[in-house]
Amino acid sequence: MNSRYKSQSAAMPMAHSLPDVVTDAVDTTAPVLGAGGRTISEAIVTRLVATFDGACILGAGVAALQWRGATIDWRLEVLVVLLGTVLGLNFLHLAGAHRFAQFAHLDSSLGRMLLGWLGTLFVLFLAALFIEPINAADGSWIAAWFAGSITLLGAGRIFLRRRMQRWAQEGRLGERIAVVGAGPVAQHLLRDLNGTSATSNLRVVGVYDDEAGNLPHRCMGHDILGRVDDLVNDVRRHGIDTVIVALPLGADRQLVETLNKLALVPVDVRLCPDVFGLRLGAVSVSHIGGHTFLNAIDRPLRDWRWIAKGIEDRLIAAGIVTLISPLLLAIAILIKLDSPGPVFFRQKRYGFNNRLIEVWKFRTMYHEKSDANAEQLTRRGDPRITRFGAFLRRTSLDELPQFLNVLRGDMSVVGPRPHATAAKAGTLLYQEAVKYYDARHRVKPGITGWAQVNGWRGETDTVEQIRKRVEHDLYYIEHWSIGFDLRIIFRTAFGGFTGRNAF
C-alpha cells in the first residue's frame, strides 16, 4: 500500500488551549455548504482567456490582411501578424489583463486590455521603422487590425464579466476552504484570513475540530461545523476545494490520523506550519491569502489534468461506441434469444467521491435470479448465469454498455472499477476489509483499470484479494497520466481484462 495510507493507531483527543475562542463580531460570508456546481478554477479561466486573446489578435490580423487583398506584401505582413500575436499575449500579461481578480471589474479589465494592446502596437511600429518603412497601405490594414482586435477583446471581457456574475450568484467563484482546528494556530490564521477575504477569492466555509462538542459554536466569526469525520462527509456532499489543517504540528498522532481521514476524499490538504514545520525538511508549499502552507495531500486530478482526462474519456468513448454499435445490437438480440428479460442490467455502485451512480451492463443472469446489490458475488459455474451470459463475462463484453456511462460523465474509460454497495471480501464489506478503501473514489471509476489488467478481478474470497485491488487502484491514482491510460487500454484490448479470473 502507498505509505500515505498506512495504518495508524487512533490518536487521543487533544485538549486545545482556547483562551481566545470567541464569537467574534466579524461579518463573514454565510457558509456556502450546499452551493451547487464545481468551483471555477482560476488557472483554467486565466489560461482560456489568454488563449482566446491570442485567437482574437491572430484572427483580426488575418481578416485585415484579407480585406486589403493584393495591395500588401503577404510574406512580410503575415510575419508581422504572427509577431504581433506573440507580443500581444506578452504585453497583455504584463499589463495585468490576465489576472483573475480583475475580470469581474469591467472598467479595470477593459483598461488593462487596452493598455496591453497599445503597447504591442507601439513596439510593432518601432520594429517596422527598422525593417521597412510603413506606407499608406500598411497603415490602413494595421488600423483595421487594431480596431478588430479591440472589438473582439472587449466583447470577450464583457461576456466574461457576465459569466462571472452568474458564477458568483451560483456560489462557484472563489476557493472553498475549511479549517481543521480551533486552537491558537487556527485562531491566528482565521483572523488574518478575515482581513484578506474582501480582496481575495477565498471563502472559509467553516471550522472543524474533534473537540467540537466542547467548544463554542463559532471561532473567529466562523461556524464550528463538527469533527473531522463530519468534514469528510461535507467534502463528499458539498465540494470543498481545500482543507487547511491548523493543528499544532507537534501533535504527531492526531495530525497523522487527520491526514489519513482526509486522504479518502478528493480535496487539497495544506498544513499551516508552526515551529514543528521547520523540521519537516524539503516540502512543496502553496500560497493562499498571502500565507504559506505546506502541501500535505493533492487532489489527483485538478485544473487541466481534470479537463484532459474528461476530453480523453469523451473522445475514446464516442469513437468506440461508434465502431462497436453493430456488435452492441447483435449482443442485445442474442441476449433476448437466450433468456427472457431486459437486455441491460442496471446496478447502483459507488462512483466519484462516494456518490452512487447507476452502472449499465448487458444482462448475464436469468432475470428472476439477478442480484441488484451484489450481496452474493458470482463464482465459477454460477447457476444464475445464462449460457450466453457466461460467454459475455469471460470476454468482458458485458461491460460494453458502460461506455454510455462514460459519455454521461459518470465514469471514465480507465479508473478503479466501481463496486456494488454490498460487495464483500469473504464475509466483510469492502469498506471493512480495507481501512482506506474509500481513497480509490477520489477519481471517477473506470471500465478497465490497473488492477484488472494485472489480473485482480473476479471473485474476492479473501481480504487479501480486495487489498491487492485497492493497492493497484491507489497506485494508478498517484501515477495517472494520459500515457498510463493508453497503456492500460492497449493491454485491455489485447486480453488484459480476460483470463482465468473472468467468469
Domain limits, the chain: 3-39+174-297, 42-169, 304-496
> Does 364 score more than 80 pLDDT?
yes
pLDDT at 495: 66
> Does 9 score more than 80 pLDDT?
no
pLDDT at 142: 78
Q: Which are the contacts of 16, defined by CB distance < 8 A and separation ≥ 6?
A: 181, 182, 183, 184, 209, 211
Can you name the residues that pair with 295 across neighbouring β-strands? 270
How many whole angstroms separate alpha carbon 223 and alpha carbon 436?
29
Angle at 389 between CA 385 and CA 393, to 5 degrees: 100
Phi, psi at 97, each rounded to 5°: -75, -10
Write the pLDDT tens digit of every residue in 14-26.
333 333 444 443 4
Can you name the residues that pair with 350 across neighbouring β-strands? 356
Phi, psi at 386, each rounded to 5°: -75, 170
Region 447-467: mean pLDDT is 81
> Does 329 score more than 90 pLDDT?
yes
Q: What is the DSSP letter of 493?
A: I
Q: Which amino acid is at 370?
A: S
How many whole angstroms separate alpha carbon 433 and alpha carbon 319?
38
Q: Which are the contacts of 378, defined by CB distance < 8 A and separation ≥ 6?
A: 384, 385, 393, 459, 503
Three-state SS at 42: helix
- Minimum mean pLDDT range among 131-145, 146-160, 233-247: 131-145
Compute the mean pLDDT over every residue in the chain, rounded to the nearest whole number.
Answer: 78
Chain-centre distance for alpha carbon 107: 32
Write the pLDDT tens digit of every residue in 159-205.
988 888 888 777 777 778 899 988 888 888 888 777 665 556 678 88
Question: 503 or 309, which is more confident?
Answer: 309
pLDDT at 8: 38
Other residues' Cβ atoms within 10 Å of the Cβ of residue 229: 11
How many whole angstroms separate alpha carbon 176 and alpha carbon 206?
9
Angle at 346 between CA 306 and CA 330, to 5 degrees: 95
pLDDT at 278: 39
Q: Which amino acid is at 203?
A: R
Q: How far is CA 1 from CA 163, 326, 343, 451, 455, in A?
A: 44, 42, 39, 13, 17
> Does 466 score more than 80 pLDDT?
yes
The grid coordinates of residue 42 equal 482560476
> Does 140 score more than 60 pLDDT?
yes
Three-state SS at 265: coil
The grid coordinates of residue 314 equal 469523451
Whole-number percent of the chain with pLDDT over 70: 77
Q: Which amino acid is at 484?
A: F
The grid coordinates of residue 311 equal 476530453
H helical segments located in 294-303 = none
Structural domain 3-39+174-297, CATH architecture = 3-Layer(aba) Sandwich (3.40)
Question: 86 or 502, which is more confident?
Answer: 86
Write the pLDDT tens digit of every residue in 62-82.
888 887 665 556 666 777 788
Other residues' Cβ atoms within 10 Å of the Cβ of residue 285: 14
Q: The pTM is what?
A: 0.62
